[in-house]
Amino acid sequence: ECLIDGSYYQSTKVILDKSSTTESCNEYFVGSIFKKQLIVIAFIETILECDQVNLKILNPERKVVFNFCETLLFEKKAPVRFIVEDYYLIVQINLSPFSQFYSIINLFIIDYNKQDYITTTTQAQTTSSTKPFDINNSKCGVSSIKSSSLPRIIGGFEVIPNSWPWQVYLHDGNKFCGGTLINNQWILTASHCVISPYWKAYLGYHDIRLISKVREIRISTIIKHPDYNSTNYQNDLALFKLKTPVVFSDTIRPICLSDAYTAMVGKEAIVVGWGKISESGMFPNRLQQANVKIKSNSECQFFDLKKTQLCAGITDQGNIKDSCQGDSGSPLFTKEGDTYVLIGIVSFGRTTCDGYGVYTNVYEYLDWIKDTIKSN
């Protein structure tokens, strides 16, 4: 499978100048995972020797939907435009040994709602009453996939590696949970995860098969919410303190918290994790994502939820999206302006993972989080 070489969301021009002495494959991601769009890719002055090089377009399910060489488009002199209606596409470039490849690829995006061309170098300014804050005075809530508005995960898909640099894989030698980095030394997770005191944190990973002891960080302090109730999962959150602070990078970065309430009913949110991708399915090795919507507590009344809890998911027939076993402690977050804000922590749900997931409402615990960190 291809190694990910870069991301070019909302780029007007990509110049690829490659020379290969070994067989290789590179991928470039185009479009928005969060918002459905019509995507137009125009190949301008493309030169391909198809016995050496091929260029393919893959959909989010990684199925080839366009094969440049099969359609012999390299013989045409006029610019070639390929149009697809989807969330995003993967431009895959395969190089045979000793191939030389030069191409200019122009990327255009058609707005799905307006149905007209928009320039890909400009973006409308967004305003929000949200007040994201960063416990560590660093640049929080910034995805490593620049300018992108980029799914226990049911009905989701594999994320672009390191899109969400605040995602943490937690393991105690027997059990694993997800977590969220909120500053350079503190991780927020679910209280019900904490059975053993011997937890380790792994940051900056996409494929957990690649986890190395060299990059593991021991947890020095575990603080469960004092009022956690294991019967009804009330106050289901805990703070983990890393033994050593982390250095921020494109693959390790905290998410923002917000003083303003942003978990409005009907709002779109993102949940990620390494949990099951079906009720009876396997646990994935690579981080998964689902785009869900906040539900009213009355929609999830069978849970008897309190204001300290959120319900979210997608329950359309044939289109279930939810967290599932193994996603506990992972984040639920939204985009506010130019930053991503943590609004929930995966807590529990029905065993069928049917689109009704329950999350700890982070907003209701901001004072406890700040006071706990300050005193420890």
Active-site residue list: 192, 236, 328
- Rounded distance between C-alpha atoms, residue 61 and residue 40, angstroms: 18
**Sign of the C-alpha dihedral computed for residues 159, 161, 165 and 168 taken in this order:** positive
Cβ(89)–Cβ(31) under 8 Å? yes
Tokens of 216: 């593991």
Beta bridge partners of 294: 312
- Rounded distance between C-alpha atoms, residue 126 and residue 353, angstroms: 34
DSSP type of residue 303: G
Q: How far is CA 178 from each of CA 190, 223, 236, rounded to the nearest angstrom?
A: 8, 16, 13
Cα–Cα nearest to 176, from 163, 162, 190: 190
Q: What value does the CA radius of gyration of the chain take, rounded to a whole number of Å?
A: 22
- Rounded distance between C-alpha atoms, residue 273 and residue 253, angstroms: 17
